[in-house]
Amino acid sequence: MPGRLTHIACLVACAVLTTAPARADGDGQPAEVDRESADGRHGPAGTARLFTMPIADVVGAYQMTIGGDGSLLEEPGVLSFAGVAALGVGDLAQVEYRHTQAISAGGRNAPVPAIGAQFQAPLPRRGRIPAVALALRLGLGRGQSFGATELIERVADLYLVTRWSAGDSLRLHAGARISQAEVELAGDRQFTASRVLLLPTAGAELDTMAGARLVTEFGLAPRFDFDPNSAAEPVIDYGALGRIGARWRMHRYLSVDSSLGYQIETRSSAARPPGSLLAWDIRMGAELYLPWGHLACRATGAFCP
């Protein structure tokens, strides 16, 4: 499956990078994207995510963003962190390292690391024409130990997402994620399994005032179930995660956000019916926008207009 996903993404990348026109304003992207030059070298980038959900925008040519969020509530005394770093490659592509959504053994919202690329379709950016993007992520794996047993979780994604602007202040997002989730036991127990999951997701942004907006997202995510005290093997299933919060543009190169995350039961059991609240936490985060093309131009004379 990862090989097929890579082949598909490479074909899309070639089509995008060879036919992409220059991006134009008036596409419903937040006004926070400051375009001091036609090629975007000087202005700060726009974000390419809600909280964890990618959106159908890339950070922009000669731009880079580094962001993440953390919580001390999910596991008392332990800081849980998830981050993303994206580097713009042309106007319609980016390469990235990010933590992709997953529910780990034990029921914790524990995103797994992945590297990949995202490509935005070269559609006209005017009126109410929606933006569309395709992302490919290859899972790096996340391990945790239970005595002599090591559990390794890995997720590879093919992600199709779209954005539609409903007026000047509201943007709606929707997508479908095809994930190959893999689980492996090592150490004193040997086991491997994988499962392909179709995971819908949706979100919205509402500008409330200059530099501030409300953000929400909800979607299905891979769920890994494993009891180290039982002889049962790990199971891969569906889980549901959501976030709602606010983001503030504190500076042209910095934004901060605060959100409430929650996990919803998707299975029926005697203890909990579907839709029950399983867990929640409060997360604080920030994103730094770096115009690396402008910095390189000043420092070395390269990448200048």
Is residue 136 within 8 A of residue 116, CB to CB? The reply is yes
2 closest CA partner among 123, 112, 139, 130: 139
Q: How confident is the model at residue 33 (pLDDT cuts 50, 70, 90)?
A: very low
Return the percentage of the chain with pLDDT > 70, whole number.
82
Q: How confident is the model at residue 61 (pLDDT cuts 50, 70, 90)?
A: confident
Where is pLDDT greater, at 126 or 176?
Answer: 176
33 within domain boundaries? no
- pLDDT for the residue 75: 61
d(CA 200, CA 88): 26
45 pLDDT more than 90: no
32 within domain boundaries? no
28 within domain boundaries? no
2 pLDDT more than 80: no
- pLDDT for the residue 144: 86
94 pLDDT more than 90: yes
196-229 pLDDT, tens digit per residue, is 999 999 999 999 988 899 999 999 999 999 988 8
Q: What is the mean pLDDT of residues 60-68?
A: 90
Total count of domains within the chain: 1
Most confident of 8-17, 32-41, 261-270: 261-270
Q: How confident is the model at residue 259 (pLDDT cuts 50, 70, 90)?
A: very high
240 within domain boundaries? yes
214 within domain boundaries? yes
Q: How far is CA 63 from CA 119, 279, 290, in A?
A: 15, 36, 6
Cβ neighbour number for residue 5 with a 10 Å cutoff: 19
Q: How far is CA 68 from CA 51, 80, 86, 220, in A?
A: 9, 11, 12, 20
Is residue 172 within 8 A of residue 161, CB to CB? The reply is no
Where is pLDDT greater, at 7 or 282?
Answer: 282
What backbone torsions phi and psi does residue 77 show, to the nearest 5 degrees?
Answer: 85, -5
Predicted TM-score (pTM) of this structure:
0.80
Q: What is the mean pLDDT of residues 239-248?
A: 95
- Full residue range of the structural domain in which residue 166 is found: 2-23+41-300
- pLDDT for the residue 100: 86
Is residue 84 within 8 A of residue 68, CB to CB? The reply is yes
Please provide the average confidence, as pLDDT, over all residues in the chain: 82
Is residue 197 within 8 A of residue 154, CB to CB? The reply is no
H or E segment to which residue 25 belongs:
none
d(CA 135, CA 94): 9
Q: What is the CATH number of the domain that holds 245?
A: 2.40.160.40
25 pLDDT more than 90: no
Is residue 224 within 8 A of residue 103, CB to CB? The reply is yes
305 within domain boundaries? no
d(CA 189, CA 231): 10
80 within domain boundaries? yes
Name the least confident of 17-21, 66-70, 146-150, 231-235.
Answer: 17-21
165 pLDDT more than 50: yes
H or E segment to which residue 207 belongs:
strand 191-209
36 within domain boundaries? no
Where is pLDDT greater, at 29 or 155?
Answer: 155
Q: Which residue matches tokens 């395709």? A: 134
- pLDDT for the residue 12: 38
Q: What is the mean pLDDT of residues 247-268?
A: 91
Is residue 300 within 8 A of residue 271, CB to CB? The reply is no
SS3 44: coil
